[in-house]
Chains A and B, each alone.
Chain A
Amino acid sequence: MTIRTPSPSHDHHDHDHDHDHDHGGATHEHDSLVVEDEVGSLLAQQMVDALQALLIRRGILSAGEVTMEIQNLEAPGTHLGARMVARAWLDSAYKQRLLRNGKDGAAELKIKIGEAQLVVVENTPALHNVVVCTLCSCYPRSILGQPPSWYISTAYRARTVREPARVLEEFGLTLPLTTAICVHDSNADMRFLVLPMRPVGTEGMTEDELSQLVTRDSMIGVALVVTPSR
């Protein structure tokens, strides 16, 4: 299979041929390092599209099944992790069970964690936890959805294990010098959820109200949960 590589900025001459030849011996100056097709798909995407088309044509998959699977992947979101955090803030017995076994704690709230085991790590005034995956993009997708692009970036992955305090400062989080930092490099069969500290001024709030305060970033550990301003 050959893959066409027209450049998107190609309006200066109109042609419809493959780009794997040279013009009069000179290399194309607009040959791009990033291979894209006419709708901007990268090479890997083009290969996936070709494979998917083939599987559908052979009757091994249907387009509906692919759409359903994408929906399943995209359905989980931070609201699931936030519910677990809010429950843990309100119910100390639940919190202990959650810290002992995150997957069981999630199951109690009818939240299914499919990809791995779950370790819940608790922030305290003495210890702040932050999660990274240096080798790829391990992330508790069942309860936080898909990771943000910065989580997958090489900068975040390389720097968080090396200089976590500086990374946190760039997120706007300056920890007191009395708080130690624990970096969790998540690379194998566990996934990690940070249990943030409950902010002051939230006494009397319901589980629903509390869960609204819990952000994705606070459950990765690059932010705190802040007191709502009224």
Chain B
Amino acid sequence: MSSLATTMNRVRFSVGDKAVVADLRKPGHVRTPDYLIGHTGEVIQFCGYFLNPEDLSIGRTSGPMVPLYRVQFRMETLWRAPQRHPDDRLCIEIYDHWLMPAIETGSDF
């Protein structure tokens, strides 16, 4: 049944793309903090393929491998408050399945 080769999920975002953090309401070893849910960020780096920590934490080591990106968010929009500097930002790693393409008009960046 199962193939020996670990499958790799498709890379859906490129550097510069805007993406919204999805509200997946997943239990378990989730690496996406709540404070980002629903916020729009900009993909700044593709980090490579990694096993999903949500799977790994329950012993599923056979994949699939998921793309991981670094995404940046403007502090001003993240906390809905003026910041000391307009370029204050937050960068974080997010696995592909937690991101949705952003509708350009509603973008934070």
Residues of A within 8 A of B (CB): 117, 119, 127, 134-135, 161-162, 164-165, 177-190
Contacts and interface: CB of A to CB of B under 8 A. Distances in A.
B94 to A, nearest CB: 8
B53 A188 contact: yes
B12 interface: no
B47 interface: yes
Interface stretch (B14-22, B85-93, B101-109): B85-93
Contacts of A179: 85
B84 A165 contact: yes
Contacts of B72: 182
Interface of B: 31-33, 35, 45, 47-48, 50, 53, 68, 70, 72, 75, 79, 84-95
B88 A185 contact: no
A188 B91 contact: no
Contacts of B48: 117, 189
Contact of A161 (B35, B53, B87): B35
Nearest to A136: B31
B68 to A, nearest CB: 6
Contacts of B33: 134-135, 161, 185, 187
Nearest to B32: A187
Nearest to B93: A188
Contacts of B87: 127, 180
Contact of B70 (A119, A161, A177, A181): A119
In the A-B complex, list the 8 residue pairs whose CB atoms are closest, starting with the nearest. Answer: A180-B87, A188-B93, A185-B92, A180-B85, A189-B50, A183-B90, A187-B31, A188-B31
Q: Which of B32, B91, B94, B95 has the most CB of A within 10 A?
A: B91
